C-alpha cells in the first residue's frame, strides 16, 4: 500500500445539518448532497486540498455499506488536524466554529511543543485540532 489518503469519510447523524455546518459555517466548498436516488447513497463531498476530499455520509449508510453494526458517535478515537499559518488564524477559525454551532472542547492556547492550538467538535462530535506549528507551516 502506498502512503496516500484521498478521502476522509465522517459518519454523521443528520446529513443536511452536517453539510450546513461545513459549507456555511466553515466555508468549505461542496456541490452539496448527491446520490439521494440510491439507498444509502446520499453523501456530500468537500474539496480540501489537491487529491484530498472530505465526505459526509449518514452513520446508518456507512454501517450498511461496511457490514458493521450501527454504532454511536464517539469523539475519542480519531482527531483531524488543520494546521494554519498563524496564531491569529487559529483564533479566527475557532470563532467561525463557535458561530456555526460547533463545540469548543479546548480553547486555543500556547502548547508545550512551541505552537498554538485548540480543539473543537463538529455537530456529530468529530474532533478537530486547529494548530499553528512553526515547524509545520502549511
The string over 79-110, giving b where at least 16 C-beta atoms fall within 10 Å of a residue's C-beta and e elsewhere, is: eeebbbeebebbbebbeebeebebeeeeebee
Same fold flag, 7-66 and 79-132: yes
The CATH fold of domain 79-132:
2,3-Dihydroxybiphenyl 1,2-Dioxygenase; domain 1 (3.10.180)
Question: For the chain, which residues make up each domain, given as ranges?
Answer: 7-66, 79-132
Cα–Cα dist 38/41, whole Å: 5
pTM of the model as a whole: 0.82
- Neighbouring CB atoms inside 10 A of 78's CB total 10
CATH class name, domain 7-66 = alpha beta
Along the 138 residues of the chain, how does pLDDT read in single tens digits? Answer: 677 788 999 999 999 999 999 999 999 999 999 999 999 999 999 999 888 999 999 999 998 888 889 888 777 678 899 999 999 999 999 999 999 999 999 999 999 989 999 999 999 999 999 999 998 877
Amino acid at each position: 500500500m502506498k502512503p496516500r489518503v484521498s478521502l476522509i469519510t465522517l459518519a454523521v447523524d443528520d446529513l443536511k445539518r452536517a453539510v450546513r455546518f461545513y459549507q456555511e459555517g466553515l466555508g468549505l466548498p461542496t456541490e452539496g448532497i448527491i446520490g439521494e436516488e440510491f439507498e444509502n447513497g446520499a453523501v456530500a463531498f468537500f474539496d480540501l486540498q489537491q487529491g484530498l476530499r472530505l465526505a459526509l455520509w449518514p452513520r446508518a449508510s456507512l454501517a450498511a455499506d461496511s457490514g458493521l453494526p450501527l454504532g454511536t458517535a464517539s469523539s475519542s478515537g480519531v482527531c483531524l488536524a488543520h494546521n494554519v499559518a498563524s496564531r491569529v488564524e487559529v483564533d479566527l477559525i475557532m470563532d467561525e466554529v463557535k458561530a456555526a454551532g460547533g463545540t469548543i472542547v479546548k480553547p486555543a492556547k500556547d502548547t508545550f511543543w512551541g505552537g498554538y492550538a485548540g480543539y473543537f467538535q463538529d455537530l456529530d462530535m468529530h474532533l478537530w485540532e486547529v494548530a499553528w506549528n512553526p515547524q509545520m507551516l502549511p
